[in-house]
Amino acid sequence: MKFSEYWMSKRKISIEDLFLIKYLGNIEISPDQKKCVFTVKIVNREKNKYNSHLWILDLTTKDYYQFTHGDVFDRSPIWSRDGQKIFFIRTKDEDTQIWCINAFGGEAYKVSNLPEGHISELSISNNNRIVFSFRPKDIQWTKEYIEKRKNNNLSNPPRIINRIYYRLDGVGFLDNYQKIWILEPENGKAWQVTEGEFDDYSPVLSNDGSRIFFLSNRSHDPENLPFLIDLWMINLEDNKLQKIKTFEGYKNFLSISPDDKLLCFVGYKSNEDPWVPKNNKLWLINLSNHEIVCLTDRLDRNIGNSTLSDIKDFLSLKPKWSKDGKFIYFLVSDSGNCNLYRVNIDSKELENLTNSKIDIFSYDISQDFQIVSISTVSLPNELFFIRENKLGKITNLNNWIDDILLCSVEEVFFNSFDGKEIQGWIMKPPDFNPTRKYPLVLYIHGGPHAQYGNTFFHEFQVIASQNIIVFYTNPRGSMGREEDFASIIRGDWGNIDYKDIMAGIEFVCKFSFVDRDNLGIIGGSYGGYLTNWTIAHTNLFKCAVTDRSVVDLVSMASTTDLPFMENGYWQGNFWNQIDKLWNQSPLKYAQNINTPLMIIHSEGDLRCPISQAEQLYTVLKRLKKEVLFVRYPLETNHSMSRNGPPDLRIDRLKRILEWFKKWLLTKTD
C-alpha cells in the first residue's frame, strides 16, 4: 500500500473514542510462572458506567482471554500460593466483597460477607489466609438504613464530625477508621485484627502466616503530627502488638522478602507537612535487629509513578522481591518517563531495566522475566515482556488505535528565564502543514507535584486533531527531576512556575507554524490555579479554560478534604495570618482578567471545592467579563476527567473543544 493510501485509510481520533479505550490495571504472575492475571477496565456505554474484569495471559503460548464477565467491577487479583485459585475484590450491585475463582475456570463465588465499606490492599500467606484493609461505613449510612428512612418518610440524620480529615475526594465521608482484617477464604470467617482510633494501612502477612506487619500513625496527635508513621507487627499466636522503631517520616507499600527476614517500603524522612514535595526512597529493614538501610540514597528521583494521564487509574504499586530475595523491583519517575528498576539489596547497585520513553502503569516479576503494562505517546496501554532488558509486546487490546491517524508528538527542551532547562512536548495535527500557522493551546498539569510524560493522553490527541497545536510542559514544581526542582515552588505558586511556562510560550512561538496571536491556555486543579494566575497577569492568551481549579487559597485551606497545616507547605494560616495565602491567590487579581474564560467544576469535588469556582465566576460576572460556568453534578468529583461518568467526560471534552474553536479557529478555518 502506498503511503497516501495508508494515510487515507485512517481517520482522526474522536471524542467518542473514549468509549473504546481499555484500561489495563494490576498484574499478577502465578506461582508456577505459567500464567498471569491482569485487570481490564472498559466503558459500559449502555449503562453509562465502568466494568472491570479479570483476564488471563498464558505465559507459554502468549494467548490471552477474558476470564470474568458480567456487570461487575473486579480489581486487585492475587493468586493462592498453590496457584489453584485467584482471589480478588469485586463490586457487584453496589456490594463490595472478596471473591474467588478457580484458576482453571468456572463461576466466581463470594468468600467474604463484610458490611458495607471499602476493601483494599490484599495480601496472602502460604496457608492462604488473606489480610486486607477495611473501612466500614457507619451503619446509619448503609443502603439498608437509607432505604428504611426513605420508606418511613424520615430525614437523614446529621453527621457528627470530630476529626480534621473526615472526608476524601472520590471516597466521601470517612465514617470509621480503616483497620486491618483477616479472612479465611475456605470458611468465609473474617475478623478485625487492629483496634483504636487510628487509620491502619499497607498490611502484609509473613509468608508463614504467623505475623502481620502494617503502617499506622498512633501518636497522641496524628492529624497535626502526620509524619509520625510507624511500622507495627502483630504476632498472631498471642495477638500482641509491637512497634518497630523507624525514622520520622512518610511510609507506604510494605513488601516482605521470601524468607520473612526483611521488609522493604517506600517513603522519606520528614517532620513537615505532607504537601511538601520529597522524592520517595526505597528502604530496607532487617526484622531481626531492626536495622534500616536506604537502598536508593544516590537516586534523586521519585520512586513510583508520578505521570498524569486521562487513561489510567492510580494503582497501588508496592515494590516486589525476586524469588531468591536478592533483588527488589520498583518504578521510578524520571523526566517524563516511568521505568522499571531493580536494586541489589547487598551492593545497592541500581539497574534500569527498561530505560525507554515510556510510562509503566503496573508490573510483576518472575525469576527470568518481567511483565509490564506500558503506555507511550501513541499507545494507550498494552502488556509487554521484559527479558534481558529487551521489551516485547504481548497484547493488542487497544487495537482500535491502528485505525487512527494520530497526532505526532515531539519532545523538546528549552531554557527558562534563569537558564534552567525545562522539558516540554509539542503535539501537531495529523495533517500538519509546516507552511501554515496554527493556533496553540498550552496545557498545565495538576499536582503541582506530578509530571506530564511520554504517555497517551486522549484529550490532547482530540484537541490537536482539530488543527490546534498542543503544547505541554513540566515547569518547576513538577516531579520526575531532582527534589529541589519540585520543592522550589513550595508556598510560592505563581512565581518561578509562571515564569517557566511563559518561557515555554516564548520558545514555542519562535516556530514559524505557531500563530502567536492565537493562543489558548487550560489547566486542571493546580493547573487551573496557574491558568487563573496567568490570565490575571498577562493578556497574551485569546481564551482560557480553568478546570477544578484553585482560586482563593484562604478559603481553600479550610474547605479542602486535606486542610492546610499552619506554617506547613504555606506560610501563615487561614484565620489570622492570611497575607501569604491571599497574595498568592488568583482571586486577588481577578479584576485584571480580560481573557474569555470557561470555568469547569464538579459539585462533588472535595479536593478543590466548588466554592472556588463560584467565587471566581461571581467576581468576573460582577466585573462584566467574558465568562462561562460549566457546573457538573454531585456524582462527579475532582477526578472527573479521568474516571467520571462516561457521558459527562464526553460532554466536558465537547465543551472544551467548542470553546477553543470559538475563540481560536475563527481566523484560520
Whole-structure pTM value: 0.96
* DSSP state letters, 278-329: ---EEEEEETTT--EEES-TT--SEES--B--SS--------EE-TTSSEEE
Mean pLDDT of the chain: 95
Mean pLDDT for 495-511 is: 98
Spatial distance between the Cα atoms of 14 and 403, rounded to a whole number of angstroms: 12
Q: Would you give the distance in Å from CA 352 to the centre of its chain?
A: 23
- Model confidence at 427, pLDDT cuts 50, 70, 90, reads very high
Q: pLDDT grade, residue 312 (50/70/90)?
A: confident
The stretch 219-236 carries a mean pLDDT of: 96
Region of poorest pLDDT, from 4-13, 46-55, 253-262, 338-347? 4-13
* pLDDT at 314 exceeding the cut of 90: no
Question: CA 111, CA 98: separation in Å to the nearest integer?
Answer: 6
The 3 state secondary structure assigned to 494-517 is CCHHHHHHHHHHHHHCCCCCEEEE
Question: Does residue 8 surpass a pLDDT of 70?
Answer: no
Q: How much is the pLDDT for 668? A: 44
361 vs 373: CA distance, rounded Å: 5
User: What is the predicted pLDDT for the residue at 669?
Assistant: 43
* Residue whose grid cell is 522499571: 340
Judged against a pLDDT cut of 70, whether residue 75 lies above it is answered with: yes
Which residues, including other chains, have CB under 8 Å from residue 152's CB and lie 6 or more apart? none
Query: Which SS3 state, helix, strand or coil, does residue 536 take?
Result: coil
| pLDDT (tens digit per residue) in 641-669 | 999 999 999 999 999 999 999 999 875 44
Q: Which residues of 294-318 are buried (b: 16+ CB within 10 A; e: fewer)?
A: bbbeebebbbbbbbbbbbbbebebb
Give the whole-angstrom CA distance, residue 288 versus residue 29.
29
Residue range 174-201, pLDDT digits in tens:
989 999 999 999 999 999 999 999 999 9
pLDDT at 354: 96
pLDDT band at 6; cut points 50, 70, 90: low
Per-residue pLDDT of 546-603, as tens digits, reads 999 999 999 999 999 999 999 999 999 999 999 999 999 999 999 999 999 999 999 9
Give 210-240 as a DSSP string.
SEEEEEE--SS-TTT-TTB-EEEEEETTTTE
Q: Are 279 and 303 in contact (CB under 8 A)?
A: yes
How buried is 144 (Cβ within 10 angstroms: 0-12 exposed, 13-18 middle, 19+ buried)? exposed
Amino acid at 241: L
| Rounded distance between C-alpha atoms, residue 27 and residue 72, angstroms | 19
Cis amide linkage into residue 609, ω under 30° from 0 = no
Q: What is the Cα–Cα distance from 180 to 212, expressed in whole angstroms?
A: 9
Per-residue pLDDT reduced to its tens digit, 251-268: 999 999 999 999 999 999
Structure confidence by residue, pLDDT tens digits, 344-358? 999 999 999 999 999
Q: Cβ of 376: how many Cβ atoms within 10 Å?
A: 18
Three-point CA angle 582, 586, 589, nearest 5°: 90
Residue 340 has pLDDT above 50, yes or no: yes
Is residue 80 over pLDDT 60? Answer: yes
Residue 316 clears pLDDT 90, i.e. is over it: no
pLDDT in tens, 208-225: 999 999 999 999 999 999
Give the C-alpha distances (Å, rounded to integers) separating 474 from 129, 268, 334, 444.
44, 23, 11, 8
Q: Taking Cα atoms as reference points, which of 572, 648, 152 lies closest to residue 564?
A: 572
Tell me the per-residue pLDDT of 435-477, one tens digit each, with 9 for 90 and over.
Answer: 999 999 999 999 999 999 999 999 999 999 999 999 999 999 9
C-alpha–C-alpha distance, residues 467 and 668, integer Å: 9
pLDDT score, position 126 = 82
Query: For 357-371, what is each residue's pLDDT tens digit?
Result: 999 999 999 988 999
pLDDT at residue 18 tops 70:
yes
Q: How far apart are CA 522 and CA 511, in angstroms?
A: 21
**Phi, psi for residue 665 in degrees, rounded to 5:** -100, 0
For residue 254, give every residue at least 6 positions away whose Cβ sits within 8 Å of its Cβ, in sequence order, or none.
202, 203, 204, 213, 214, 215, 231, 263, 264, 265, 318
Evaluate whether 294 touches 310 at the Cβ level (below 8 Å): no
pLDDT higher for 559 or 316? 559
Distance CA 114, CA 190 (A): 8
Does residue 2 surpass a pLDDT of 80? no
Q: Which domains does the chain have, with CATH numbers?
A: 21-300 (2.120.10.30), 401-664 (3.40.50.1820)
Predicted pLDDT of residue 182: 97
